[in-house]
Amino acid sequence: MELVETDLGATLSTLLGLAWLIPLASFAAILFFGPKMGPHGRNSAWVATGAIGTSLALSLFAFGTWMVNHPPAVAHHGDHGDVHGEDHGEEHGKEHDDSHANNHSAEATNRVAARLVRFAEEQAAEGGHGDREHGDHEHDGHEHSDEGHGDEGHGDEGQHADSVEHGDTGHGEKIAYSGDWYALYRSPSLVLSIGWYIDSLTVLLFVVVTFIATCIHVYATGYMHDELHDVTDHEVTLAAGGHLHRPGRFPRFFQALSLFCFSMLGIVIAGNLAMVFIFWELVGICSWFLIGFYFERKSASTAANKAFIVNRVGDFGMLIGLMALWGALGTLHFGDTVSVDAEGHQVVEPGLFSLVRPAENGHALQVPDGMVVAAAASRVGNIASVVSPEDARAVIAEQVSGWRAMGMGNWLLVVAGLGIFCGCMGKSAQVPLHVWLPDAMEGPTPVSALVHSATMVAAGVYLTGRFYPVLTPDVLVVIAYIGAITLFIAATIALVCTDIKRVLAYSTVSQLGYMMLALGVGGWVAGLFHLVTHAFFKSLLFMCSGSVIHACHTNDMRRMGGLLKKMPYTGWTMLVGCLAIIGAGVPFVIGFSGYYSKDSILAQALLFRQINPSHAILWYAAAGGAALTAFYMFRLWFMTFIGEPRDQEVAAHVHESPSVMTTPLVVLSVMAVAAGWSLGSLGVVNLLEQARPLGTAAGMTGGGLLTAAVTVPAEAASHAEAIHVTATWTAFATAGLGVLLAAAFYVWRVVNPAVIATTLRPVYVFLENKWYFDEIYNWIFVKPAHGIAMLASANDRGIIDSILHLAAWLSRQLAAIDAWIDRFLVDGLINTLANVTWTMGLRLRHVQTGRLRQYVMFIVVGTVAIFLLASMMLSATVAIP
Amino acid sequence: MNPASFLTPVLHDTLQVSLPLFRTELALAVTVVLVLLVRMLPGLRRLDSGVVALGGILFAAWYAWSDLRGLPGSPWMPDAVGPERVELFTGLLVFDPLTAFLRFLLTGFLVLFAVFTRITGIPDREDSADFNVLVLGATLGMCLMASANHLLAVFMAVEMASVPSYALAGLLKGRRTSSEAALKYAVYGAGAAGVMLYGISLLAGSLGTFHLPTAAARLAEMGIVGFPEGAALVLALGGLMVGVGLAFKLSAVPFHFWAPDVFEGASAEVGGFLSVASKAAAVALLVRVALGLSSPVALEADMVPAASVVLHHADEAAAETAEAGSSVTQASASQRRVAAQFASLKQDGDGQEGDASNSEKPATEAAATEIVAGATSAAVMSVDEQRIGLALPRYFIVALIAFMAAVTCTLGNLGAYGQTNIKRLLAYSTIAHAGYLMMGVAAAVALAGSNPSMAVSAVAAVAFYLATYVFMNVSAFLIVAVLRNRLRSEEIASYAGLVKTSPGLVVLMGVVLVSLIGLPPLAGFVGKFLIFASLVEASSLPAEGSILSALLIVGGVNTVLSLFYYLRVLKVMTFDPPPSDRPQQSVGLVSLSGAAITAFVVPIVIFGVFWSGLYTLAHLAGGIVS
């Protein structure tokens, strides 16, 4: 299946585009025909499952196509300890993004210059001597000349080679395809389009998302069967007493699930930030639908609203980031856009990545020209006021590198990075925006498994990873710290939770913290690797917990225990999940999927600590977090499955779930074990290494704005033996420690957890109250908001309403007078007229008697009558001339 | 005069000139014969006569279309050099743009009508041959009406169109109302025909000719010289009586009594045929006669066909014997007055007109002398001169048509108010629409006297109105027929709540009714707008202006009046609760009848928005005014 490059791009975009759109079709089908699909909409499950299954097949096909055409190089993660960092992926000679490297720069400079001049002229116009129209004209003309210019730079491949050497490492090329399907809006300064950006990360995530989604669709078919008939919701007590009784909502669930799959895949395939934002909001609304599935329950509807509102806080930051990028760079596309102009030349419109990491700079991060100029606005104004527009362009272009050296525009790049990350914080539940995720567990468990652990919450990590090339060391350090704090806080809260799903929810938050930490300390592959492995084992864990809840009808672990015998499939698969999440394995030999990903995160954190000793806390958080993870996960497992049943009533009717639910568990547990393994070149790590953004293999030094100077080390360096061995042993030791502690507490009962809780009462209460985040937010945000709302409402009701009522009363009085006039004068007139015509019409019927004799007589009468009339008229007119 | 010299021009005229331009009618006639043969010959009896008829109609329509597009100035063939005005069969008929347009309209309507009847299933297979023969024969007569150029042709055409219509009205043989309708129609028609024939004899007697252009020339001559004692009264009576015949065909008040009864008694199919085809032909004939008698045609001496000259001689011989000696002195007196008026004309005229009249000076003088000799002289009167001479007849005709238009329109609309039967309501609606059409004719006649280009627009307005009226009424009657087949009722009350079961059909009916009211953006609005625009234009004329402005007001008020009863049907269909005993059958648009209705209604919407193409055609038809 060897394909030419461009064909491959088209093939992949078609395959993945179809895989993306099929769930939308399923959504539409269920939306319109759901209730008609079998009794109670039973068949909607098959429609949705069939759709996502087809998507999975298409994704796998795309994956296969990718593997055949671009087999990834064997990376080092498979065999620990060896350092051969710099050589991966070099055989890929052709690079879609980079073959026009110089073209980019020329194009970029010209574009920037054009923007500059326009900006300068606007400034001049404000001063009263400038002509906007003229400016536009200049701008247009200039863009035209750009195209020719761009073409000239086309063939300079030689320089490109030089520039690669300039880089810190001779890193290989990155394979990515990008393009647009459809432009929603097109203007010279902004293109909003639905497009794709496909590299191995996209393909990989498509497979992961559709795979897990398929498993969960199948699982949900069994889990949601209650909704197939009328439901009595025991958690909703009506005011009249008794419980809520409502019809089942089976189709609605699958409808929302399909929409979610569409939205999630939309984020993954998105070719630009605007599209990401659209689908970002779409997954948000899907999450809102699904958390609030049992919306009659107050807790569920509150949780849904909370999730939505907290996410909006993050999205606000994201919007700021989007505006900073668009305002300064004029594009939101990730990749370069290649088009052919009227004269047949190829025109390359650089995307974000090429602007921030231009090829001639060896893909090293630099503040793009647009941002430099935007920061140097006052100087640009000065230049524009002295020289003519044409010259100004040249002068400014000369000055840009100088200004950049002065650090101008750096803060703008930081703002952009932080803004986008802010959105990711909301979606990925990073402290301080993590509060919604545990509450989101009010939704049905399949939703928790798919949306709130495996896919949607990982979208934040995915976007941080996708956007990674644009992030400066300052931002990365912030990300690392947020991740570390998150992982630690969430892990501590998980220690004391008794609700089985909440433990998993906090564990999710904590693991997301790990991913962010990994990205922040420079472990791009490590972070995304953990995303993939986590998706498998966390969805597995959630589905296991769902199976338990399904059997016990309670979430409370204190009422469980000893379930392993009754629920063997669930118990053993959940153990696999627990082992995977704590990163269990035989050091340096083999392990569960989490073993590989967590090791690489720890290694990277350790490396970061060695290079930047002042940030050692990150390492401790990561290592400590590993121990906590092991403890709370096995606490969960032991409490649920081991020992004696604590609640006989619950234990009495526990039974294993139907096979439609256990089969996905088994399938996913296989993935939870094996997702980290590499078979030759086929492995997640190798694929991710292939997708690594250009220029990020090398380390970065920077900082100064938000933190002291910091060096983000190259990820390859973390494979050095010294680092790697330490990290592996640390991970092994901490995980073992955690498991042993948990066993001591809950299996061997050497220590009584209740005693510890009493001894460390303040800490326990602090943790049980989840660090008082909800209370603090309540006091800081919710209460004041309510207060302001009450004031506004009082103002509305007391002052504005009374004025309105007065006005309304006055209008009514006026209207009454008007109505009187209308009724008696106007209507009276009209009605009289109408009555007269009506009567006339009816009278006319009497003429039409139906008697033939009379009719014939009328001919004569009519003729004579008209003749008399005519002769009168004739005699009158004949007299006139 | 030997027979050969008499026959040669007649043969040439018939074979070389007339028949090629008569092929539409020939096709219809051949189809009639074929349909009859299909019925009579045992081998062919299995053939569906409807299909044979449809084939013939398509041929006829194609001929009509090719004649129409071959007209000079047609947008389809910019370099067309077809004939603009040719008199056929020694002046009995005339081929001109109006003829071409009406032929195409009528045959095109026949195509739609054939589809219509096949869908609604009336006539059944047994009656199909009779029905088709009658329809084709009537249409042949209507085509002749549209092209009549001679008072005898007028009478023959009217009868030819009417007699099959009487039979059509009685087509539902078993039904009493149907037979009653046919009887009423026939007797009423016979009465009207008698009056008309009397009128024709009066006109021909006093003008000495049946040939319309010649008659106009005579009138012009009289107008200039002065009407002989008592002649004006006789002429007025004659014109009026001819008008009665036309008014019968138009179902104009007060000669409309047959219409509601016939429409109610006959099937909806026949109603559709009568309301559209018969009306179109009648309007065309009205335009022909009214314009023919009130506006001049540039007749040159050699253009007057030999045979008609012969006929004139015969007429004149009769007239001369009737008038006897006293007319000689009158003639010499009138001759003097004509000469005097011509002289004053020449003085009044400005430079260019003066040139024209100077060049004609010898001819005029010759004419003046020829009048005394009793030879045909009108041919040499120039068009402008005739136009002046026709002022009085024109005024009379305008006033007559305007009066009848106003009365027809108002009474038609008012009469529709209390109707409970949809076909009766539509009958009154067609009466009212005849009134609107007559308004356009009145405007055209009035404008023809002073502003021929605006008169062209007025005729075009009438033609446009007719074309859109085809679609509106065919759709309305088709819907009525389809509903009759479903509901077994034609009472408006039985349509109650129809929107619940057949929403699409009700929407289409709504479009049709709103278009009949004449509201934008539907075709009915454009037609009405064009007619009212001509009235506005004509209301500034010095002589007829006041009549026509009054007519304009009447037309406007009537549009408001019509709103009520059309919308009442819609109200019943949408707001009233459906009767409980109605079968729950719906007429979906996804069915043969639904598709046909849609296909007929869509043009109403299209011509309401994109009407320039149709208007170009109509404007072409207006080219009969010179």
Question: pLDDT tens-digit profile of A231-247?
Answer: 888 888 888 878 888 88
Cα dist from A452 to A286, A294, A506, A554, whole Å: 11, 16, 11, 20
Report yes or no: B232 at the A interface, CB cutoff 8 Å. yes
CA distance B410 to chain A (A): 10
Report yes or no: B417 at the A interface, CB cutoff 8 Å. yes
Whether A382 shows a pLDDT value over 80: the answer reads: yes
> pLDDT tens digits, residue range B381-404?
677 777 788 888 888 899 899 999
A528/A465 Cα distance (integer angstroms):
7
What pLDDT score was predicted for residue A5? Answer: 60
What pLDDT score was predicted for residue B377? Answer: 44
Contact (CB<8Å) B415/A862? no
What pLDDT score was predicted for residue B344? Answer: 47
> pLDDT tens digits, residue range A173-213?
788 888 888 888 888 778 889 999 999 999 999 999 999 99
B478: CB partners within 8 A, 6+ apart: B116, B119, B120, B268, B272, B593, B596, B597, B600
| Among candidates A844, A852, A874 on the partner chain, residue whose Cβ is nearest the Cβ of B187 | A852
Whether B466 shows a pLDDT value over 90: the answer reads: yes
A735/A768 Cα distance (integer angstroms):
23
| Among candidates A838, A858, A863 on the partner chain, residue whose Cβ is nearest the Cβ of B241 | A863
CA distance B408 to chain A (A): 12
A341/B264 Cα distance (integer angstroms):
70
CA distance A876 to chain B (A): 11
A278 in helix, strand or coil?
Answer: helix
Listed range (A587-596, A852-861, B494-503, B575-584) with the worst mean pLDDT? B575-584
Contact (CB<8Å) A878/B417? no
A848/A844 Cα distance (integer angstroms):
7
What pLDDT score was predicted for residue B437? Answer: 95
CA distance B415 to chain A (A): 5
pLDDT band with cut points at 50, 70 and 90 for residue B489: confident
CA distance A869 to chain B (A): 9
What pLDDT score was predicted for residue A288? Answer: 94
**Is this prediction's ipTM beyond 0.85?**
no
Sort out which chain A residues have CB atoms less than 8 A from B240's CB and list them.
Answer: 863, 866-867, 870
B103/A873: higher pLDDT? B103
A712/A368 Cα distance (integer angstroms):
20
- The whole domain housing A843 covers 775-848
- Domain residue ranges of chain B, discontinuous segments joined by +: 10-299+387-624, 301-378
Average pLDDT of the segment spanning A500-526: 93
Contact (CB<8Å) B195/A874? no
A104/A160 Cα distance (integer angstroms):
11
A311/B193 Cα distance (integer angstroms):
88
Sort out which chain B residues have CB atoms less than 8 A from A850's CB and list them.
Answer: 261
CA distance B413 to chain A (A): 8
Report yes or no: B396 at the A interface, CB cutoff 8 Å. yes
Contact (CB<8Å) A837/B414? yes
Report yes or no: B403 at the A interface, CB cutoff 8 Å. yes
> pLDDT tens digits, residue range A49-67?
999 999 999 999 999 999 8
| Among candidates A842, A845, A871 on the partner chain, residue whose Cβ is nearest the Cβ of B236 | A871
Answering whether pTM is above 0.80, one says no
What pLDDT score was predicted for residue B81? Answer: 67
Whether A78 shows a pLDDT value over 60: the answer reads: no
What pLDDT score was predicted for residue B520? Answer: 85
First vs last Cα of chain B: how many Å apart?
35
CA distance B625 to chain A (A): 25
Q: Which residue of A has its CA nearest to B418?
A: A842
B615/B626 Cα distance (integer angstroms):
19
Sort out which chain B residues have CB atoms less than 8 A from A869's CB and list them.
Answer: 403
Sort out which chain A residues have CB atoms less than 8 A from B394's CB and list them.
Answer: none
> pLDDT tens digits, residue range A681-710?
788 888 898 888 888 888 888 877 777 788
A53/B123: higher pLDDT? A53
Average pLDDT of the segment spanning B194-199: 93
CA distance A307 to chain B (A): 45
pLDDT band with cut points at 50, 70 and 90 for residue A6: low
Average pLDDT of the segment spanning A600-620: 92
> pLDDT tens digits, residue range A514-541?
999 999 999 999 999 999 999 999 999 9
Average pLDDT of the segment spanning B160-185: 89
What pLDDT score was predicted for residue A219? Answer: 92
pLDDT band with cut points at 50, 70 and 90 for residue A435: very high
Q: Which residue of B has its CA nearest to A846?
A: B415
Give the ranges where B13-148 is alpha helix by DSSP (H): 23-40, 49-69, 97-120, 125-147
CA distance A822 to chain B (A): 21
Contact (CB<8Å) B187/A838? no
Q: Which residue of A has its CA nearest to B414?
A: A841
For residue B10, how many other CB atoms are within 10 A of its CB? Answer: 16
CA distance B202 to chain A (A): 14
Report yes or no: B226 at the A interface, CB cutoff 8 Å. no
What pLDDT score was predicted for residue A387? Answer: 81
Best probe of the B interface among A844, A845, A873, by most B CBs < 10 A, is A844
Report yes or no: B566 at the A interface, CB cutoff 8 Å. no
B261: CB partners within 8 A, 6+ apart: A848, A850, B180, B181, B184
Average pLDDT of the segment spanning B271-285: 92
What pLDDT score was predicted for residue B441? Answer: 94
> pLDDT tens digits, residue range A644-673?
888 888 888 888 888 888 999 999 999 999
| Among candidates A848, A871, A881 on the partner chain, residue whose Cβ is nearest the Cβ of B257 | A848
Contact (CB<8Å) B255/A862? yes
Sort out which chain B residues have CB atoms less than 8 A from A866's CB and list them.
Answer: 240, 243, 254, 400, 403-404
Work out the mean pLDDT of chain B and round it to a whole number: 82
pLDDT band with cut points at 50, 70 and 90 for residue A154: very low
Contact (CB<8Å) B188/A838? no
Contact (CB<8Å) B257/A874? no
Whether A285 shows a pLDDT value over 60: the answer reads: yes
Whether B261 shows a pLDDT value over 50: the answer reads: yes
B535/A447 Cα distance (integer angstroms):
74
A510/A524 Cα distance (integer angstroms):
18
Whether B327 shows a pLDDT value over 60: the answer reads: no
Sort out which chain B residues have CB atoms less than 8 A from A830's CB and list them.
Answer: none
What percentage of chain A carries pLDDT values higher than 90? Answer: 43
**φ, ψ for residue A54 (rounded to 5)?**
-60, -40
pLDDT band with cut points at 50, 70 and 90 for residue B200: very high
Whether A89 shows a pLDDT value over 50: the answer reads: no
Contact (CB<8Å) A858/B254? yes
Contact (CB<8Å) B416/A841? yes
Sort out which chain B residues have CB atoms less than 8 A from A867's CB and list them.
Answer: 236-237, 240
Work out the mean pLDDT of chain A and round it to a whole number: 83
In a domain, A814, yes or no: yes
Average pLDDT of the segment spanning B483-495: 88
Q: What's the structural domain count of chain A?
A: 1
CA distance B418 to chain A (A): 6
Contact (CB<8Å) A878/B232? yes
B441: CB partners within 8 A, 6+ apart: B283, B286, B287, B290, B401, B405, B458, B462
What percentage of chain B carries pLDDT values higher than 70? Answer: 85
| Among candidates A844, A867, A881 on the partner chain, residue whose Cβ is nearest the Cβ of B415 | A844
Average pLDDT of the segment spanning A566-581: 93
In a domain, A676, yes or no: no
Best probe of the B interface among A852, A860, A867, A880, by most B CBs < 10 A, is A852
Report yes or no: B411 at the A interface, CB cutoff 8 Å. yes
For residue A623, how many other CB atoms are within 10 A of its CB? Answer: 18
Please report the number of interchain residue pairs, chain A to chain B, with beta-carbon separation below 8 angstroms: 88
B421/A871: higher pLDDT? B421
Sort out which chain A residues have CB atoms less than 8 A from B414's CB and list them.
Answer: 837, 840-841, 844
In a domain, A408, yes or no: no
B561: CB partners within 8 A, 6+ apart: A837, B410, B413, B414
Average pLDDT of the segment spanning B357-371: 44
Whether B439 shows a pLDDT value over 80: the answer reads: yes
Contact (CB<8Å) B261/A848? yes
> pLDDT tens digits, residue range B87-97?
888 889 999 89
| Single-letter amino acid code for the residue at A258 | S
Closest Cα partner for A21 from A10, A9, A13?
Answer: A13
In a domain, A856, yes or no: no
What percentage of chain A carries pLDDT values higher than 70? Answer: 87
Average pLDDT of the segment spanning B521-540: 92
| Among candidates A834, A844, A863 on the partner chain, residue whose Cβ is nearest the Cβ of B414 | A844
